[in-house]
Amino acid sequence: MNSFKDRGGLIGFGHYAPQRRVANAEIEQDLGLEEGWIERRTGIRARRYVAPDQALTDIALPAAQMAIEDSGIDPSKIGLTLLATSTPDHLLPPSAPLLVHKLGLPNSGGIDMAGACAGFLYALAMADAYAKTQGIAVLVVAANILSRRINPEERASRVLFADAAGAVVVTPPTQDGQGILASDLASDGAYYDLIKISGGGSRNPYRPDMDPNEYLMSLKGGQTVFAKAVNTLTDSAMKILDKAGLKPSDVDHWAPHQANARIIQAVGTNLGINTGKTLMTLGEYGNSSAATIPFSLSKCREERSYKPGDKLLLSAIGAGFVSGSLLIGM
């Protein structure tokens, strides 16, 4: 257990994955793909889907509870809860206030942040700043139920997406070198239409004759997405390392968004980051969008430890071509 008094920055980690494991064979059979097709192209062997009665706050809750318990702080010290999600319980109201209520946090505000796959990084950047300026703890949760947004007939989305949640507790630094050391947050709306759910917003509101597929994920321009993702993540990481006066070899742990093994391998090669430093949960848990980074940070801690002074590099890019890199000091 950690203590708010002698630790600062990221002091608690939590994760949750639903019980239902969906192996590649099930999807390959449905889509008429040869055995091994999905893993060769994505690195994914399986993914988790929620039960029919589970909603977003149901999977966010255990991840958040685990992070709070791991932090060792009094829950009353948490003054803000940020929930990064693209699949809230409802379009209105936001889901974060319900999560705060279920957690029993007496002094916490709560708000959703919709930044797609990079949403956790944006929420973490806000949490770090708020913790430092207000002197309070912030709970950051990322969770998604993408299995209900998959078009079962569209190969591109069905082979990738999954359901999961991850969480961290952020507190004011107690010494130099803790928390966010450098950051780069960006977006490129020129690629806005390549990854989207077109129906349900103000531009394409509900109509009685609406095609149900308009409420499901659509992915286009695979090669464009791949090239843009690799270049953006490489340049962003180098930018913040240079800003911090560090080299890729100074990174102790790299937690990339778990989108596709080919993207992760290409960026890792460009950066020259040893594969042993790369946190990977993609193979067994798939792509749960914003949840993948906090999920991996928590899940991989079962096999590795984050020591004081360690440098963590976090990288993500997703729909809307919202992207970001954060350098974290432990």
Q: Which of 24, 253, 287, 300 is catalytic?
A: 287
Residue 246 neighbours by CB under 8 Å, 6+ apart: 311, 327
Query: Where does 190-252 have alpha helices with state H?
Result: 222-243
Per-state percent for the chain, helix, strand, coil, to nearest 5:
40, 25, 35
CA distances from 316 to 109, 115, 184, 254, 294 (A): 26, 10, 11, 11, 12
Calpha distance 300→265 (Å, rounded)? 18
Is 257 a residue of the active site?
yes
Count the neighbouring beta carbons within 10 Å of the beta carbon of residue 126.
18
Q: Which of 24, 117, 144, 260 is catalytic?
A: 117
Calpha distance 60→49 (Å, rounded)? 14
Is 117 a residue of the active site?
yes
Closest CA relative to residue 271, chosen from 300, 294, 239, 296? 239
By annotation, the residues acting in catalysis are 117, 257, 287
